[in-house]
Amino acid sequence: MRAIKAFPILLILLLSTLLTEAQELNCRVQVEAPQVNNVDPARFQTLEEVVRDFMNSRRWSDDNFEFNERIECNILITINNAPNQNSFSGSIQVQSSRPVYNSDYNTPVFTVNDGDFGFNFLDNAMLQFSLDQHRDNLTSVLAFYAYMILGMDYDTFSPEGGTEHFLKAQTVVANAQNSGAAGWRAAESQMNRFWLVENILSQTFRPLRQCLYHYHRQGFDKLFTNLEQARQTIGDALVELRSIHRIKPSSYNVQLFFAAKNTEIVKLFEMAPPEEIERILPVLKELDPGNIQRYEQALG
């Protein structure tokens, strides 16, 4: 009788442990293959489930996250080509966000659409990853973006708090140099995984990392207690990004920052005083020229 009564208590304790020491990511995964007709669609459903399990079940750091502290993120894998039943190529889109203090709003932090994504996937294969080696391209790409999500999120909560995770992402890049897969090498492009992490760890891009902290922790987290001061802090952080632009115009990382933030920035400043808009509008047009028309219509 004692054993029977003890079982529910042990189960409750186990569930409590799992909930209080959850993994870092709450990742929703979707796999699409609209142009692929030579592969059973069930394969893509399996891939979706395996990737979701890989991202959400693995511990990516030594930190303990409570269940409600997990980082919200999304992965969309679009497969454009399948030379055979086990080989695929296409793109991977990754997005992450974090909650804003004292609100029910989640602010976008990281958005990237990586078109250099080729991989092999076998039925019943378990995804295995080790930081000290490149096993296969699928797990390396997924791990790389897991560490980037963590690094970006940590940078929003403390100054340069994501360094440890960015260094792990850089290790993934280093291990993949001789893999033959696209997206890992410096000479291939200025907008790939190599430069994404290489830039974020360089001295030139310190203003971007400082911007991540001031924009989120000193800005958005304080919007509901002091709107004017918080918006001023956010504007100051955006102005500081000009120092990057002077050295590396149209850099990949700054482009990704505005890809995530341009809608939010417009909504934040469209009701600002005229002098504040006059200060920030030229900065936005200089740093994010692809959205000049949008900024002019909303803020001009």
Give residue 21's pLDDT.
53
Contact between 109 and 102 (Cβ < 8 Å): no
Task: State how beta strands 71-84 and 25-32 pair.
Answer: parallel
Residues 157 and 245 in one domain: no
Residues 157 and 207 in one domain: no
Tell me phi and psi for residue 295, to 5 degrees.
Answer: -65, -40
Residues 56 and 158 in one domain: yes
Alpha carbon of residue 120 to chain centroid: 23
Give residue 123's pLDDT.
81
- Give CA–CA dist 56/29, Å, rounded: 10
Return the structure tokens found at 43: 């394969």
Contact between 258 and 286 (Cβ < 8 Å): no
Counted domains in the chain: 2
Give residue 249's pLDDT.
95
Alpha carbon of residue 140 to chain centroid: 15
Give residue 3's pLDDT.
36
Residues 6 or more apart whose CB falls under 8 angstroms from that of 186 comprise: 194, 195, 198
- Give CA–CA dist 11/21, Å, rounded: 15
Return the structure tokens found at 150: 């963590």
Residues 56 and 157 in one domain: yes
Report how far apart, in Å, the C-alpha atoms of 237 and of each of 33, 68, 128, 137, 240 are. Answer: 40, 29, 40, 36, 5
Give residue 300's pLDDT.
86
Query: Residue 195: inside a domain, yes or no?
Result: no
Query: Residue 9: inside a domain, yes or no?
Result: no
Residues 28 and 126 in one domain: yes
Give residue 186's pLDDT.
97
Task: State how beta strands 106-120 and 87-99 pair.
Answer: antiparallel
Query: Residue 191: inside a domain, yes or no?
Result: no
Return the structure tokens found at 281: 């509008």
All residue ranges of the chain with pLDDT < 50 are 1-20
Give residue 4's pLDDT.
34
- Give CA–CA dist 4/114, Å, rounded: 53
Query: Residue 3: inside a domain, yes or no?
Result: no
Residues 130 and 28 in one domain: yes
- How confident is the prediction for the chain on average, in pLDDT? 92
- Give CA–CA dist 182/238, Å, rounded: 32
Tell me the CB-side half-sphere exposure of residue 124, using CA atoms within 13 A.
0
Tell me phi and psi for residue 29, to 5 degrees.
Answer: -125, 135
Query: Residue 144: inside a domain, yes or no?
Result: yes
Q: How many CB atoms lie within 10 A of CB 42?
A: 9
Return the structure tokens found at 162: 């994501």
Residues 82 and 131 in one domain: yes
What residues does 119 pair with on adjacent strands? 88
Residues 127 and 240 in one domain: no
Residues 158 and 213 in one domain: no
Contact between 65 and 21 (Cβ < 8 Å): yes
Query: Residue 242: inside a domain, yes or no?
Result: yes
Q: How many CB atoms lie within 10 A of CB 91?
A: 15
* 206: containing domain: 202-300
What are the tens digits of pLDDT across the range 203-234? 999 999 999 999 999 999 999 999 999 999 99
Residues 144 and 212 in one domain: no
Residues 58 and 151 in one domain: yes
Query: Residue 214: inside a domain, yes or no?
Result: yes
Residues 33 and 156 in one domain: yes
| pTM for this prediction | 0.92
What are the tens digits of pLDDT across the range 110-124? 999 999 999 999 987
Contact between 204 and 253 (Cβ < 8 Å): no
Percent of the chain clearing pLDDT 70 (strictly above): 93
Task: Please identify, among 133, 162, 191, the residue that sits at the C-terminal boundary of a domain.
Answer: 162
Task: Please identify, among 135, 162, 189, the residue that sits at the C-terminal boundary of a domain.
Answer: 162
Query: Residue 63: inside a domain, yes or no?
Result: yes
What are the tens digits of pLDDT across the range 158-188? 999 999 999 999 999 999 999 999 999 999 9
Sign of the dihedral through C-alpha 94, 96, 204, 295: positive
